[in-house]
């Protein structure tokens, strides 16, 4: 005789999927048209789906209503990290599953979930529908899913958001232009019952290991343990830059002498003045005090076969 749990699981697996693809057209009309054509070609006919174009901020309220009133099982964000963040925070703590068709410059969450960067392949992964529960974080009550931080990366995020040119090349150009002009600042961190003061170039609070583009700032971080890896990059000289970059690219940032890492589920940081923060690369201004909290297993996501539970 089957127990209640196994019966419930069996019934859940038999429920038909209803998938909503949410396309951000900011990638350009030609790109959006090609992606929509690929979805229609590759996505199985036996799974119900609909495609909507996210026109602007106000239109997303209509999309949210559509998701929650029409019994969609999956919300697929078609866009960059900002689009993914926006869709994901809308369905936090619900039974709706997040999927991602990554067309951004970083694609941090998609990469962390083992999803393909090839449109045809990721559409097939979405159709396959392999899922996992992952943690999310909040910074001053704003949700994020990969990384958030203050200091240099928030400064770059702010500049990139106002840049006319988009894409990885523009991001790298801005980063190297600012790298030696930016000055480290002093922060006080409170976590795990202790208080420490550090002069830091940046502080990253990592739910996942990477920023995007396989830049692993916290290679030991996972998205299923209810914990952040708090990475403090100390001030460094010009001769250290490439050594630090090599460590990050080879997933050994935690072994760098320029980096300190702490593990916690809650954290507060105070600084000398109001300044930028970022959440999944999206910039915002915040007060002197910045507060972080991990929300364990709060988002159901579609993952690739390489995702490690």
Residue 167 binned pLDDT confidence (cut-offs 50, 70, 90):
low
Q: Which CATH architecture has domain 4-137?
A: 3-Layer(aba) Sandwich (3.40)
Q: Which of these ranges, 23-32, 191-200, 232-241, 252-261, has the smallest mean pLDDT?
A: 23-32
Q: Is the pLDDT score of 12 beyond 60?
A: no
Give residue-wise pLDDT tens across range 81-110.
Answer: 889 999 999 999 999 999 999 998 889 999
Q: Is the pLDDT score of 227 beyond 60?
A: yes
Given the DSSP bridges, would you call strands 131-139 and 142-144 parallel, antiparallel or unpaired?
Answer: antiparallel
Q: Is the pLDDT score of 1 beyond 50?
A: no
178 or 216, higher pLDDT: 216
**Residue range 274-290: mean pLDDT, rounded:** 93
* CATH 2.60.200.40, domain 142-294, yes or no: yes
Q: Is the pLDDT score of 3 beyond 50?
A: no
Residue limits of CATH 3.40.50.10330 in the chain: 4-137
**Residue range 292-297: mean pLDDT, rounded:** 98
Residue limits of CATH 2.60.200.40 in the chain: 142-294
């Amino acid at each position: 005789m089957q127990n209640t749990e196994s019966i419930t699981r069996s019934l859940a697996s038999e429920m038909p999927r209803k998938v909503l693809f949410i396309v951000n057209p900011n990638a350009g009309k030609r790109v959006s048209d090609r992606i929509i054509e690929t979805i229609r070609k590759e996505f199985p006919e036996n799974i119900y789906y609909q495609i909507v174009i996210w026109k602007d901020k106000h239109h997303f309220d209509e999309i949210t209503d559509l998701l929650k009133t029409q019994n969609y099982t999956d919300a697929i964000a078609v866009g960059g990290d900002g689009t993914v963040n926006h869709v994901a925070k809308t369905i936090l703590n619900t039974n709706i599953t997040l999927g991602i068709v990554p067309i951004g410059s970083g694609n941090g969450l998609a990469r962390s979930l083992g999803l393909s960067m090839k449109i045809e392949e990721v559409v097939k992964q979405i159709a396959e529908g392999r899922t996992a529960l992952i943690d999310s974080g909040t910074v001053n009550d704003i949700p994020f899913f990969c990384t958030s931080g203050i200091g240099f990366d928030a400064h770059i995020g702010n500049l990139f958001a106002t840049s006319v040119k988009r894409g990885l090349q523009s991001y790298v150009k801005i980063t190297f232009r600012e790298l030696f002009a930016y000055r480290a600042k002093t922060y006080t961190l409170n976590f795990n019952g202790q208080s420490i003061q550090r002069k830091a170039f940046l502080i990253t609070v990592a739910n996942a290991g990477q920023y995007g583009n396989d830049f692993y700032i916290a290679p030991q971080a996972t998205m299923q343990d209810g914990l952040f890896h708090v990475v403090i990059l100390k001030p460094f000289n010009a001769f250290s830059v490439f050594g630090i970059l090599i460590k990050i690219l080879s997933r050994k940032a935690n072994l760098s002498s320029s980096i300190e890492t702490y593990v916690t589920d809650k954290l507060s940081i105070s600084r000398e003045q109001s300044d930028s923060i970022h959440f999944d690369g999206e910039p915002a201004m915040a007060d002197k005090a910045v507060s972080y909290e991990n929300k364990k297993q709060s988002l159901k996501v579609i993952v690739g076969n390489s995702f490690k539970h």
